[in-house]
């Protein structure tokens, strides 16, 4: 399968744009630097048409195991940096290295245990990450080949290795890259982001043994400093409620199609409109109860890997496939009723003559003008 890996940073460009014109001079400089670095990595991905071929495993394994390597960029902008911990090594003195190592392992464990998937590509792809990238770099990203973590600026963002769901989110972009390869634009791009939010949250829930009712359903809850009026970057439970801060602004995510944001920024609002399918998954999971990686997570995984999800899929086509997947795996019972009801509550049709409806240009809300 030909794939076109893209730069996927956890902090969306609309937020960095806001910070580049807001707050202290140090925050502005850090945000502008992050925007420049993100553009470099985004441009570097252009022209890539195939995913990297994973190295062969060193030996046959009865049970797959992760193969991790953590590099230290030492505040430079080189990848992978100096390798400081590899698979099987004990903890080192640097907590960022250890958090990255454990986060890669927790993500590997969820996909193996819950979905029988051997690493990101399904064939034992090595999991590589680099910490301490750049100076006060306020982002973390999957670049199509590895994870990269900044230390944060210290005023708005802390060390990006601190958030397990962010690690799971970024590695899930790799899973999407190797499966449905959703286009990173408009509704398909919002689905790409939402799938990563869903599996990022599931990585954290699985590691903590949480039920759907016990989970906080936040992405990046450990990233914001105490100076910020907010709890996370995004909320699957209540899109639009993650932060409301003088510097960051107000969380712009909608949770219903009535509030869909029509914008040319952020690849058509991929980090904004992802709130709609995010809330659908949350509603599905909490309606069924129990562990969300079991029935709801399995339905989302079946759609992602089933071969029927096209790269340019919209919300309605994804929703229809989740209903079909729920019925195929569980029969026409509680799971089908729960997933159908969840999509209905966020305004996305799952059947009928309008089930292919997309949001036309200028529908819904227009993106607000940037404010300083």
Which residues are known catalytic residues?
A: 170, 271
Q: Strands 127-131 and 140-142: what pairing?
A: unpaired
The packing angle between helices 186-208 and 315-330, to 10°, is 40
Pairwise CA distance, residues 174 & 2, whole Å: 14
Which tokens hold the place of 26? 């140090």
Q: If we measure between CA atoms, which residue out of 79, 49, 195 comes closest to residue 148?
A: 79
Which tokens hold the place of 127? 């999991």
Pairwise CA distance, residues 270 & 261, whole Å: 10
Residue 86 exposure: Cα atoms within 13 Å on the Cβ side: 4
């Amino acid at each position: 399968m030909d794939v076109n890996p893209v730069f996927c940073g956890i902090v969306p460009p609309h937020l960095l744009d806001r910070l580049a014109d807001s707050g202290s001079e140090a925050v502005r400089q850090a945000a502008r630097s992050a925007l420049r670095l993100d553009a470099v990595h985004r441009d570097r991905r252009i022209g890539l048409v195939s995913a990297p071929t994973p190295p062969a495993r060193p030996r046959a394994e009865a049970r797959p195991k992760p193969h991790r390597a953590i590099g230290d960029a030492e505040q430079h902008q080189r990848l992978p940096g100096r390798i400081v911990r590899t698979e099987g090594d004990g903890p080192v003195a640097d907590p960022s290295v250890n958090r990255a190592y454990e986060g890669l392992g927790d993500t590997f464990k969820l996909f193996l245990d819950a979905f029988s998937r051997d690493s990101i590509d399904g064939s034992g792809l090595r999991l590589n990450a680099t910490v301490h990238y750049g100076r006060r770099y306020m982002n973390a990203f999957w670049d199509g080949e590895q994870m990269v973590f900044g230390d944060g600026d210290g005023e708005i963002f802390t060390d990006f290795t601190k958030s397990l769901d962010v690690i799971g989110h970024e590695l899930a972009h790799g899973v999407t890259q190797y499966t449905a390869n959703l286009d990173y634009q408009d509704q398909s791009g919002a689905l790409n982001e939402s799938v990563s939010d869903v599996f990022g949250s599931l990585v954290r829930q699985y590691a903590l043994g949480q039920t759907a009712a016990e989970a906080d359903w936040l992405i990046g809850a450990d990233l914001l400093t105490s100076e910020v009026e907010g709890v996370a970057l995004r909320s699957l439970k209540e899109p639009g409620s993650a932060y409301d801060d003088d510097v960051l602004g107000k969380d712009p995510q909608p949770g219903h199609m009535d509030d869909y944001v029509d914008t040319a920024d952020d690849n058509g609002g991929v980090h904004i409109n992802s709130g709609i399918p995010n809330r659908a998954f949350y509603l599905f999971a909490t309606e069924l109860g129990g562990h969300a990686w079991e029935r709801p997570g399995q339905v989302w995984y079946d759609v992602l890997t089933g071969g029927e999800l096209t790269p340019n899929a919209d919300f309605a086509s994804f929703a229809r496939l989740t209903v079909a997947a729920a019925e195929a795996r569980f029969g026409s019972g509680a799971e089908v009723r729960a997933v159908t009801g969840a999509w209905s509550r966020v305004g996305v049709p799952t059947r009928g003559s309008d089930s292919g409806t997309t949001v036309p240009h200028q529908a819904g809300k227009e993106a607000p003008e940037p404010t300083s």
